[in-house]
Amino acid sequence: MLASDLIDPMLPSLKLTDSVAQALDWMQEHRVGQLVLTDQGEYRGVISEELLMDVADDEQRLSDVMRLFEQTFVYEDQHLYEIIGLILQNRMEVVAVLTEEQEFSGTISTSELLKQFAQELGVQEAGAILILNMNERDYSLTEISRLVESNNVKIISSYFSSAAYGMPDRSRLTLKLNRREITSVISTLERFGYRIEAAFANAPVESIDQERLDSLLRFLNT
């Protein structure tokens, strides 16, 4: 999914001639703490509610107010993952989308972006979640997929988390599956030497001991 597909048409952009009061009203109306500032179709940065609250005169124009992220934006053809990385790095609530010609195209809100990301990961799909603990050099999604699918189960999405430096055997692979009953999948993976750190499923998982279930609960509560 690209940036152009993630633009929220309901989010307005502010103009340099708008007042502080106007900006605060729009932020309250759309329940956001930031809005993009533009000038005749050109991106000028992001206006923050936190900074606006410190302005004594709410009739002051936004042209005279401090703005953020003037050089931080995405292009229409950038991927969802790139946008998430940018937003997390800069702690942004909104991000401007520009065309190749540097013209303002629209605004992406973080809340809507995360909803789309959840859909991409299949979070709302029914099915179990498995967390595998492994050495990074042993990671092969092709091999793991083959083992999972040998039980007539499919991987909806996966996420690999590299271990901290000096701990190569603590990497994690999180799998979202399309079935709730995954006892056979766990048995197959364990038979081939994979360590199951945690499992989450609506159906009982007989081969997971209590210690692993407790680990799952700690994981879900963090």
- Whether residues 158 and 108 share a domain: the answer is no
- List the CATH number of the domain containing 111: 3.10.580.10
- Whether residues 52 and 159 share a domain: the answer is no
Residue among 15, 152, 6, 136 nearest 80 (CA):
6
Query: Once rounded to an integer, what is the mean pLDDT over residues 88-100?
Result: 94
Query: Once rounded to an integer, what is the mean pLDDT over residues 80-100?
Result: 92
Domain C-terminal end among 68, 91, 119: 119
Band (220; pLDDT cuts 50, 70, 90) = very low
- Whether residues 57 and 153 share a domain: the answer is no
Q: Which of 64-78, 80-94, 139-153 has the lowest mean pLDDT?
A: 80-94
Q: Tens digits of per-residue pLDDT, 104-163? A: 999 999 888 888 777 776 666 778 999 999 888 889 999 999 999 999 999 998 888 887
- Whether residues 206 and 101 share a domain: the answer is no
Which domain range does residue 200 map to? 123-221
- Whether residues 111 and 134 share a domain: the answer is no
Say how many domains are in the chain: 2
pTM: 0.69
Domain C-terminal end among 119, 139, 169: 119
Query: Once rounded to an integer, what is the mean pLDDT over residues 1-28?
Result: 95
The beta-carbon contacts of 191-199 under 8 Å, at least 24 apart in sequence, are 192/147, 194/132, 194/134, 194/144, 194/147, 195/132, 195/133, 195/134, 196/130, 196/131, 196/132, 196/133, 197/131, 197/132, 197/133, 197/172, 198/130, 198/131, 199/128, 199/129, 199/130, 199/131
Domain C-terminal end among 65, 85, 119: 119
